Structure 1
Amino acid sequence: MKRIFITGAALLGLMRLCAQTADTTAYETKKLKIEEINLVSSYYSQDGNNASVTGGIGTQKLTDISNVIDVNLVKIGENGIKHNFNIEAGIDHYTSASSDKIDLQANSSASSADTRFYPSLNYTKENTEKGTTIGAGLSSSTEYDYQSFGGTLSFAQKTKDRNGEFSARAQVFLDQVKLLAPIELRGVSGADYSGNAARNTFLGAISYAQVINQNFQVMVEADIVKQQGYLSLPFHRVYFNDGSVYQENLPDSRLKIPIALRASYFLGDNVIIRAYYRYYTDDWNLTSHTANIEVPVKITPFFSISPFYRYYTQTAIKYFNAYQQHTAMDDYYTSNYDLSGFDSNFVGLGVHLNPVNGLFGVKELAMLDIRYAHYTRTTGLNSNIISINLKFK
C-alpha cells in the first residue's frame, strides 16, 4: 500500500482572496485556452519491521515512482464568468517486499509489485461579480486489487469586501476491494478469499478563510467522514496468542471528524510563515494531533527555499494489538501498525525557481520546484521522498 504525505505547501493557493471589489464595467470574452500545465514526478522509499501482511512483523520495504500531469484550461464567458477545467492523470508503480508475502514467497509473486492509474476531471464556474464559485468533479483509481470511483460537488462565496470566503464540499468514493487472501487461508471456512467487497466513503467539508490584514491570513476547516462496507484489508494477517492465523477483521463502519486551522503570516517582503494544526478523532478510538510549519524565504526575486517540519502523534484504535497478542475473546482484530499508537517526524526542504524569462531557455517553463523530505516513526518505520514539479504557462 502506498503512503501519501501532504506538507501544507499550498496554503496561499487555498486562500486566494482579493481585498478589492470586482470591476464589472467591462468584460472581454476569451476562448478556452490552456492556462498552465504541471508535471510532477516523485520517488518514495521506506523501510521498517512491522509489515501488516505478515501479522505486524517482517520487512516493510517499499519503493514507489509516481508521475502526474495536470492541465488547467480557462475560458472567460459573458459577464466575466470564468470557466475552469482541470484534467489530471497520474500513474504510480510500486514494489513491496511485504506484499510479496501474501503468497509466502520472496520477490517472485504477482503481489510484489503493482501499478495504479488515477485520472480526474474537475470543473469550476466563478462569477467574479457575485464572488461565487461552484464546482463538480469526477475521479477514479485503478490497481490490481482495488477500484475506486469518486465524485465531488463544491461551492464557495466571498464576502462583500472580498477579504473572506466560505466554502463547502461534498465528496463520495465508491470502491471495490478484491478479496485477495493470504495463500494459507484461501478455501478456509469463514475467510474472505474470492470476489469483491464494497467500501464507500462519504465526506462533507466546510471552511472559512479570512484576510486579517495585509500580513496575516487564516483559514478554519472542519470535515465529517463516514465510511461503510469492507474496511479491513483481506491480505493482512493477524496471529493470535495460540499461534492461529486469521484475516484482519474490522467493523464495517467508521466515523471520522478532523478539524484544522491554517495561518499564513508575511514577515516583511522575503519571509512567509505558514502554520497548520489539525485535531482528529473517530469512533474507533483513534485521536491524533498534527502540527506543521513551513517558512519560505525569498533569496532573490526568482529563487526561494522552504524548510518545513511536521510533528504527528496518534493513539491506537481499540482493535489493534501486536503479533500474537490477540485472544479468542476479540471480535475485531488488526496488527496494522498504521493503526497503532506512535509519534512521527517529517522534515524537509523545498527549492523554488521562477525566473521571468523561463527556465533553461524555455520561456513557457515558468517554474521548477524540488522538494525532499525524511520521515521517521517511533515504531521504527522510516522513509524518504523527493519530488520535482515543472510548471508550463
Structure 2
Amino acid sequence: MKKIFLTVLGIAALLRSFSQQNPDTTGFQSRKLKVDEVNLVSSYYNQMGDHAAVTGGIGTQKLTDIANVIDVKLVKYDRKLRKHAFDLEIGIDHYTSASSDQIDLKANSSASHADTRIYPSLAWSMENEKKGTTISAGVSSSTEFDYQSFGANIGFSQKTKDRNGEFSAKVQAYFDQVKLVTPTELRTGGGGGRGDSYGSDNRNTFAGSLSWSQVINKNLQIMFLADLVKQQGFLSLPFYRVYFTDGSVHEEKLPDSRLKVPLGFRANYFLGDNIIIRTYYRYYKDDWGVSSHTVNLEVPVKITPFFSISPFYRFYSQSAIKYFKPYGQHTAADEFYTSNYDLSKFNSNFVGAGIRLAPPNGVFGVQHWNMIELRYGHYTKNINMNANIVSMNLRFK
C-alpha cells in the first residue's frame, strides 16, 4: 500500500501545475490542442488460493499486483467545428506470484516469481456534434517477459435526431506473441530456458462489437451490447502443468481456435436527485463449452452535492470447458487437456464500495484537482480462492 500512495503523491505533485491555469469561461471552442482531463489510477491487488495452474491445479495461488495508470485526454476543434479528442494512456503493473515461481520446482526462488507489464495506448475520435456522428481509432501495446501484444481498433457511432438514442459499432484486432516458457522438467535442447533461447508462437484475436443506447425518459436509460470474438493460434499457456492418471506431467494443450459470443444489457435508473441504480447483465457462450452469467448492481448515493458513496455487488457463474479435469485425472486418450481452474465450473462474488469527493473549489483547494475516488472490493470464488483490491482515482480537469 505504501508504494501506491507514494506514486500517487509523486505524480499529483507534477500535475499540480495545472492549478496555475485560469479556466476558460467564454465558451470559445479552441482550435488549439489543449489538455481536457488527466486521470491517475493506482491499485493494489492481493490474492490467495489453492488451485495454481502452474503446478497442475494444486498449490498456492498467492499473488500481489501493484498497478499505476496515467490517462491524459486532449481536445481541439477543427475548421469545421468538429471535436477531435486524443486519449494517451500508459499503465505499469508489477506483480509477484508464488505459483509462477514454481515453473522451476527445484528453485527456492526464480526469475518467474515477479514481472512487470507496460501497456501504452493511444486513441483518437472525431465528433461532428451537428450530425451526431463520431468516428474513432486506436492502437495499443502490452509487454511483459513472456508476452507481447499489439492492438488496433476502429469505431463509428450515430446519434438519433432527438439525441436520445445512439448506435455504435467497433472492430478490434490483437496480434500477440507468446514466449514458450515451459516447466523446467519438460524442456528439451541445450537452451535450458535462459534468455532468448525460448521459442515463441502467435495468437490473434478479432472482435466486433455493436451497441444501442436509448434514453427512455428522464429517469431511465438502457443499453444493449453484443460482441463476436474469434481467437486463433496458440491459446494454451506453456508453463501450465497437467498431470495424468499415470503420474506423468505434460504442458497444457488446448485447441488453436475459439469463438466467443457475449451479449449484455445495461440499465441506469435515476431515483430522484441523489440515488442512481446501475444494473448490468451479461450472458456468454463459447465453442469450448463455457456458458456464463454476470449480474452487476451498483447504487451511487449522493450524500452532499460534492460527496457520494457507491456500494456495489457482482455475481458470476460459469460452466467448465470440455477439456478441464482436476489434478491427476487426465489420460492419454484426451486430445486436449487443462487443469486451470479459471476454466472450471465455479461461482464468484465481488462486493465492495467506493467513496467519491468532488468539491467545487478543488480537492484541498487545488482548483483543477476536481475529484478523488477510493474503492475497495472483496472477491471470492467457491473453489477456495479470494482476493482484495484497493484503488484510487485522481482527476485533474
TM-score by length of 2: 0.90
Percentage of identical aligned residues: 66
1:371-390 residue pairs with structure 2 within 5 A?
371-390=375-394
User: What secondary structure, in the 3-state scheme, does the structure 2 residue paired with 1:53 have?
Assistant: helix
- Counterpart of 1:34? 35
- 1:18 is aligned to none
| Segments of 4+ moved more than 2 angstroms | 26-30
Name 1:239's counterpart in structure 2: 243
CA shift digits 1:280-322 (9 cap, x unpaired): 0000000000000000000000000000000000000000000
| 1:76 is the counterpart of 2:74 | no
Match of 1:102 in 2: 103
Residue deviations 1:254-305, cap 9 Å, x none? Answer: 0000000000000000000000000000000000000000000000000000
Partner residue, 2:123:
122
Query: What is the Cα deviation at residue 379 of structure 1?
Result: 0.5
Q: Confirm or deny: 8 A CA contact 1:203 1:225 kept in the other structure.
A: yes
- Write the letter of the residue equivalent to 1:32: L
> 1:268 matched to which residue of 2?
272
SS in 2 for 1:257: strand
8 Å contact from structure 2 (residues 311, 354) kept in 1: yes
Instruction: Give CA deviations for 1:90-109 in whole Å, capped at 9, x if unaligned.
Output: 00000000000001145510
Are the counterparts in 1 of residues 29 and 76 from structure 2 also a CA contact under 8 Å? no
RMSD, aligned α-carbons: 1.3
CA distance in structure 1 between the aligned counterparts of 2:322 and 2:49, rounded to whole angstroms: 23
TM-score (norm 1): 0.91
Where does residue 66 of structure 1 map in the other structure? Answer: 67
Q: Contact between 1:71 and 1:88, CA under 8 Å: does it hold in 2?
A: yes
The 2-side partners of 1:267 and 1:31 are apart by 40
Structure 2: gaps spanning 5 or more residues: 1-26
1:87 aligned partner: 88
| 3-state SS of paired residue (1:79) | coil
Letter in 2 for 1:97: A
Distance 1:73 1:194 in 2: 41
Question: Residues 227-376 of structure 1 correspond to what in structure 2 (within 5 A)?
Answer: 227-376=231-380
Q: Is residue 200 of structure 2 the alignment partner of residue 200 of structure 1?
A: no
Name structure 1 gaps, 5 residues minimum.
1-25
Cα 1:135–1:107 change in 2 (3 A) is farther
Quickly say closer, same or farther: Cα 1:232–1:362, change in 2 above 3 A: same
Distance 1:305 1:107, change over 3 A: farther
Whole-Å separation in 2 of the counterparts to 1:50 and 1:229: 26
Output one character per residue of 1:90-141: Cα deviation in whole Å (capped at 9) or x when no partner: 0000000000000114551000000000000000000000000000000000
Quick one: which amino acid aligns to residue 177 of structure 2? Q
Which residue of the partner structure matches residue 185 of structure 1? 186
In terms of fraction of residues, the more helix-rich structure is 2
Q: Is the 8 A contact 1:199 1:228 kept in 2?
A: yes
Amino acid at match of 1:313: S
Please tell me whether the aligned partners of residues 157 and 168 of structure 2 are also in contact (alpha carbons under 8 angstroms): yes
Matched letter for residue 87 of structure 1: L
Q: State the partner residue of 1:155.
A: 156
| Structure 1 stretch displaced more, 107-116 or 330-339 | 107-116
Equivalent position amino acid for 1:181 in 2: T
Query: How far apart in 2 are the matches of 1:104 and 1:171?
Result: 39
CA apart distance, 1:249: 0.1
Count of residues in Structure 1 that have an aligned counterpart in Structure 2? 365
- The 1:178–1:29 alpha-carbon spacing in structure 2 relative to 1, beyond 3 Å, is same
Hey, what does 2:143 align to over in structure 1? Answer: 142
Q: Verify the 8 A CA contact 2:31 2:79 in the aligned structure 1.
A: no
Q: Which residue of 1 aligns with 2:15?
A: none
CA contact (8 A) 1:132 1:158 kept: yes
Alignment of 1:7-22 (within 5 A): none
Which amino acid is 1:239 matched to? Y
State whether residues 51 and 98 of structure 1, in contact with CA within 8 Å, keep that contact through their aligned partners in structure 2. Answer: yes
Q: 1:29 Cα shift?
A: 4.2
